[in-house]
Structure 1
Amino acid sequence: MTVGLNERAKGVYVIAVTPFTDTGEVDIASIDRMVDFYEEAGVDGLTVLGQLGEAPKLTAAESRQVVERVLERLQGRLPVVVGVSAPGLAPMRELADAVMGAGAAGVMVLPPWTLRTDDQIHGFYRSVGEALGDTPFVLQDYPLTTNVQIAPGVIERIVRDVPTCVMLKHEDWPGLAKIGALRAASDAGRMRRISILCGNGGLFLPEEMERGADGAMTGFCFPEMMVGVCRLFEAGEREAAHRLFAAYLPLARYEQQQGLGLAVRKYVLAKRGVLGSAKLRAPGPALSTADVADVERLLAAQERRLAEIGA
């Protein structure tokens, strides 16, 4: 069985999409292909039911179905983190207990948008720790979505007071200084050193690694880029990591568009044979003819650039 999530986690915990059929049902066959694809790409773990996994569009039964299928396909070969954010602690705990019982390694919790003060944020995550018991969890810091600003000092307090908070999903923007501040705090002994994996589609991954991040917890239609960047950094080949990242950056930038980005990701994953359909569950955008032309042009340019640098 996969070891539970802990502070030493590193590498790429890819945010998995949720495949749907053309008529909007959960596509089990595509889940299997997707899991195989991510594993073959070399990721270190998977995160399911994230914001870009269309989790809010799933029923409770579908959420469990997706998690159970991913876990069944992996058979413990990679750790799986499950997003369990909910309006209340009771449904959060219910889903967390279910997925941990099925074999998940840990869960991820996004703060509710109603939190405004440092004490409210700290109090919320203390309550999360109490509600989840021994379950290790990821603090998802995504102010672009939640409008909840979590200062480094507040994260220090949470990490000191809630021992089951083992990872920060860093998705602040701009947020490089926050990574540096947290690493300085752990170096000085003011808090435990926790894992920091970063989001935002990997747009700042090399810079985040330079500041002390342990890897990425995000999605991109070419997860092998993120895996390559993390492995090159671990090997001390920082310039090579930056060159590899730069080859994929135009497509990563295009994929990071608010609203349209997930449609781009699913289009490319379907084109790569991972998904049977590029369908987003309603409400969700569809790519126009002009959008598709943009993506195809970016894919062709990316292929040429990768050949030029021998990647």
Structure 2
Amino acid sequence: MSSGKLTEQAKGVFIIAATPFTDDGALDLQSVDTLTDFYLGCGVHGFTLLGMMGEAHKLTGEESIDVVKRVIGRVGSRQVIVGVSHAGLENVRRLAHEVMIAGAAGVMVAPPPGLKGDDGIYNYYAQVFQALGPDIPVVYQDYPQATGVYLPPTVFERLVDDFKQLVMLKHEDAPGLAKLTRVRESEKKPGRRRVSILVGNGGLYYPQELRRGADGAMTGFAWPEMLVKVYDLFASGKAEEAEDLFDIYLPLVRHEVQPAIGLALRKEVLFRRGAIKSPKQRAPGSSLTATDKAELENMIERLERRLADAGRGSKMAAE
């Protein structure tokens, strides 16, 4: 059982877990186990389930709960955040309560596409917080590239001031560095809470975001050990060494965030690393061509050479 509820002090790497399926599209709970163990072996500090990368919209309600229970039963003291975004507020409320009963530390909610204006955002989340009650910690998922909803820092500040259950910002605006700085600067005002900020976008801007006050990453890059090591180096005051390590992986970070085939690439790597039995997505999903796979293989070989040259060895297989 994961330990305690999510708070403003959350930090580190909360990996966004992929959802494994068999070649014929069935939920593969055995691979959920091996993938969870793989992430644990990479040193992640927490998990985020049923995110956009987790193909949550392709799962039935029963499957969603099965995945959550399976992971929570395996992660020991690591906290688990569960995405509960849905067009219907009652569905958000129901899933949030179910996953909290199952042992989740908190839930993540993205604004529904088409939400208009500052008051539209504020009023929607006010309804979410009322529906969930004061005891469920909430992560605001700020991913305007997918939702079409831009979150102004001033609106986020209002929400933080008015709703104590809002404890984290999942920051994925791009470009978003100036926005991250604005949020952190505003928290220095007397009486204002400092909330946790974990960043996404595949880790593309990770070192700069850590320098600007992010507390870690919430993304699904298929080499989670890099995310963890970069965080640890930053936390111990070795920012330049952290950037050097990040730079070795950057070509694959960049390659993996491609629209359309990004998830297929990520699952292919997890499959090659032995973490899951099949790289398949549940239909409809993207797939890789022979050229895509050859290209990825070449990039992995280059990564392993760069790691060896840097004296860091190479660990392609899951631990």
Give the TM-score of the pair, scaled to structure 1: 0.98
Alignment deviations for residues 3-56 of structure 1 (CA, whole Å, 9 cap, x no partner): 110000001000000000001001011000111111111111000000000001
Alignment deviations for residues 52-100 of structure 1 (CA, whole Å, 9 cap, x no partner): 00001111111111111111122x4210000000112111111011110
Residue in 1 that maps onto 2:178: 177
Question: 184-193 or 233-242, which moves further after superposition?
Answer: 184-193
Alignment deviations for residues 140-184 of structure 1 (CA, whole Å, 9 cap, x no partner): 000000110101111000111111000000000000011100110
Give secondary structure in 1 for the equivalent of 2:285. coil
Give secondary structure in 2 for the equivalent of 1:13. strand
Q: How many residues were matched structurally? A: 310
Cα distance in structure 1, aligned partners of 2:124 and 2:233: 37
1:190 to 1:119, Cα distance in 2 relative to 1, 3 A: farther
Cα distance in structure 1, aligned partners of 2:17 and 2:100: 18
Shift of 1:187: 1.3
Residue in 2 that maps onto 1:92: 92
Residue in 2 that maps onto 1:229: 230
Structure 1 runs of 4+ with >3 Å offset: none
Cα distance in structure 1, aligned partners of 2:23 and 2:190: 53
Residue in 2 that maps onto 1:160: 161
Shift of 1:190: 6.1
Residue in 1 that maps onto 2:69: 68
Cα distance in structure 2, aligned partners of 1:19 and 1:69: 12
Cα distance in structure 1, aligned partners of 2:301 and 2:261: 20
Cα distance in structure 1, aligned partners of 2:165 and 2:6: 10
Shift of 1:114: 2.0
Alignment deviations for residues 83-141 of structure 1 (CA, whole Å, 9 cap, x no partner): 00011211111101111001000000000012110011011111111111110010000
Q: 5+ residue gaps in structure 2? A: 313-319
Cα distance in structure 2, aligned partners of 1:13 and 1:154: 25
Question: Is 1:204 aligned to 2:205, yes or no?
Answer: yes
Cα distance in structure 2, aligned partners of 1:257 and 1:116: 28
Give the TM-score of the pair, scaled to structure 2: 0.96
1:33-72 paired onto structure 2 within 5 Å: 33-72=34-73
Cα distance in structure 2, aligned partners of 1:260 and 1:63: 23
Aligned-pair identity in percent equals 54
Superposed CA RMSD in Å reads 0.8
Q: Which amino acid aligns with 1:21?
A: T
